[in-house]
Amino acid sequence: MGKLIGYVSTRHLKDITEEDVGYLDVINIAFGRLRKGRVEWNHPECKSILAQIRAQNPELKILLSVGGWGAGGFSEAAMTKERRERLTASAIELLREYDFDGIDIDWEYPCFRVAGIDGSEQDKENYTLLLECLRAALDKAEEKSYMLTIAAGGDEYFTICTEMHKVQKYVDYVMLMTYDLKGGFLTYTGHHTSLYSNKRDLYPASADKAVECFLRAGVPKEKLVIGAAFYSRMWHNVPDIDHGLHQMAGTTGGYGPSYHSLLRDFINKNGFIRYWDDEAKAPYLYNGKTFISYDDEVSLKEKAGYVRENGLYGIMYWEYSNDETHTLTGWIRKQLDKGKV
């Protein structure tokens, strides 16, 4: 049975319904940050909320995710043995203070210097050494069996700049961020979170291609998690050709409406028409000038089937508050459980 992992921002922990707590296997709290080489997440007001969630589903694992887009400090903190041990010690302090079940490292991205984050060619080896340090310290803890996971970029650039065949030994699973595969960097429209690549796509990233890439890099299939998006990517000034799919737009694909907003105002409403790419197994919207890429129940069903058929660890999504209808978490759970004995 595939596992279901949901990213939940700190301020939205209070909004998780009891029903969804029952559907989830893991909650990743987004985000802890690195400050002066130490992991920080100072939210004592969340302790009662965490206790309530645990009471609702004692089997649920709650992890602190550290990092995220635009979060720096990893390259510097992983640079030396002393610094790696400092980060690790601070992480374990937090796990114990809040009774977390583990830590999720979202270092975006080793070796790259983007979004104001520093990077180094040494990150390739230091990424491995950091996770080795964390795993060793977590295994020494006597109070519980702690989890260690990572979120990884969903394309070859990530495997080139890491040693995934070594990394996979230290982590419980690897979450592939198979969303934002197109968007903020591209003026070319397309699916930002598709299951498969369309052969007419100039930038053919997809969940399936990411899985193939990480398998080649040495990660076993049973440790791979694919990503789903509860939000969209939107391009403007898109030519009215092929319903806007695979066209050069007047803008990059900026952050678009959340799923509940799409249902309310965009899907077959206000001039937008929903189309389905059966090759990519992905929906999209177009109104003659604006193109929107997103996940819906149909594409999520396809992703869940892919996880089951290929023996992957599960599905994760970003991010819980982007579905105020509180339907997608339960829908994914239902699809993952199909065929369950």
Residues 193-204, buried b or exposed e (16+ Cβ, 10 A)? bbbbbbeebeeb
**Rg, C-alpha atoms of the chain:** 20
pLDDT tens by residue, 11-33: 999 999 999 999 999 999 999 99
Q: Provide the pLDDT for residue 35.
A: 93
Do 197 and 206 form a contact (C-beta atoms < 8 A)?
yes
How many whole angstroms separate alpha carbon 7 and alpha carbon 152? Answer: 14
Q: What is the mean pLDDT of the chain?
A: 95
Q: Provide the pLDDT for residue 110.
A: 84
Of 59, 108, 132, 143, the active-site residue reads 108
pTM of the model: 0.97
Residue 213, amino acid = C
pLDDT tens by residue, 52-104: 999 999 999 999 999 977 667 899 989 999 999 999 999 999 999 999 999 99
Residue 119 has pLDDT above 90, yes or no: no
Cα dist. 316→138, 171, 304 in Å?
A: 23, 16, 10
Respond yes or no: is residue 108 known to be catalytic.
yes
Residue 131 has pLDDT above 80, yes or no: yes
Of residues 229, 232, 226, 230, the one with CA closest to residue 183? 232
The fold of 3-230+294-336 is TIM Barrel (3.20.20)
The DSSP call for residue 12 is G
Residue 114's pLDDT band, with cuts at 50, 70 and 90, is: low
Q: Provide the pLDDT for residue 36.
A: 93
pLDDT tens by residue, 247-293: 999 999 999 999 999 999 999 999 999 999 999 999 999 999 999 99
pLDDT tens by residue, 291-339: 999 999 999 999 999 999 999 999 999 999 999 999 999 999 999 998 6
Q: Provide the pLDDT for residue 247.
A: 98
How many whole angstroms separate alpha carbon 78 and alpha carbon 212? Answer: 28
pLDDT tens by residue, 214-252: 999 999 999 999 999 999 999 999 999 999 999 999 999
What 3-state DSSP class applies to 245?
coil
Q: Provide the pLDDT for residue 71.
A: 64
How many whole angstroms separate alpha carbon 245 and alpha carbon 44? Answer: 47
Q: Token digits for 78?
A: 């992983």
pLDDT tens by residue, 180-199: 999 988 999 999 999 999 99
